[in-house]
Amino acid sequence: MLNLNSHDISTELLLGLDESAMIMLDGILVHQDIVAPLISLKAAAASSGFELRIASGFRSFERQLAIWNAKAAGERVLLDDAGLVLDCASLSESELMAAILRWSALPGASRHHWGTDIDVYDAAAVASDYQVQLTPTEVADEGVFGPFHKWLDGEFAAGRGNGFFRPYNIDRGGIAPERWHLSYAPLAAFCDLALHAELLQQALQRREDLRLKNVILRELPHIFRRYIAVPASCYPASYADALRGREVL
């Protein structure tokens, strides 16, 4: 049985303010605890003809804040569920916030802050100069990375995921499905339990440079439930069983 009290998760790690536990793997920062199981998963992929490569790993609070503010200011393209560009100027603050949350986490609330979560692709499927976009089209079964993700599906279903799983495997009305996003359950479970809306609210209240701050703070309980909390059922069975009944998740 998973002991949910066996890890001491710092507030700084949860919020993306501490990267002392991060190390470089293939040029990407990740939490040191995921390196060995990820290398093992990469080896299994290679034996099946795939080259598992990380597109994104650890992301700091400041980096997530920059992404958020750029989207809120209309400086980055914002897409709807169909992949079409939205007209940000026509949206209310609440609508704009929801549109950003569909694809990007609030600063302080990204699972990438923990170093446990990575975005992956199959480098063997594309030319070396291919620009990975991490779009639903790329990872669909018929997409360029479709065979790789179908292989991953099989590994996860057979219990050979080395602790990794997809937190955004289906559309629950919050964050859009992200087939490319993997999370390492043995550490992410503790981070999930340690992060709560009150902690996030305290962190965001201190940031005067956060765009849409007023509407975010006003709607934060709803945001947390819909866009941040990941159900226990997403986790591999041993973690799901331990997490059920403690649905801070």
Q: What is the pLDDT, as a whole number, of residue 75? A: 93
Q: What is the pLDDT, as a whole number, of residue 84? A: 80
Q: What is the pLDDT, as a whole number, of residue 81? A: 77
Q: What is the pLDDT, as a whole number, of residue 2? A: 45
Picking from 54, 80, 76, 81, the residue whose alpha carbon sits closest to that of residue 65 is 76
| Token pair for 144 | 């360029």
Q: Is 83 exposed, middle or buried (0-12, 13-18, 19+ CB in 10 A)?
A: exposed
| 106: Cβ contacts below 8 Å, ≥ 6 apart | 64, 68, 200, 204, 216, 223, 227, 228
Angle between helices 213-223 and 93-101 (to 10 degrees): 50
pLDDT in tens, the chain (249 residues): 344 455 678 999 999 999 999 999 999 999 999 999 999 999 999 999 999 999 999 999 999 999 999 999 999 988 887 778 888 889 999 999 999 999 999 999 999 999 999 999 999 999 999 999 999 999 999 999 999 999 999 999 999 999 999 999 999 999 999 999 999 999 999 999 899 999 999 999 999 999 999 999 999 999 999 999 999 999 988 887 777 755 443
**Angle at the Cα of 144 from the Cα atoms of 142 and 147, rounded to 5 degrees:** 65
Q: How far apart are CA 155 and CA 150, in angstroms?
A: 9
Q: What is the pLDDT, as a whole number, of residue 5? A: 52
**What are phi and psi for residue 247, nearest 5 degrees?**
-75, 55
| Token pair for 131 | 């620009």
pTM metric for this prediction: 0.93
Q: What is the pLDDT, as a whole number, of residue 4? A: 47
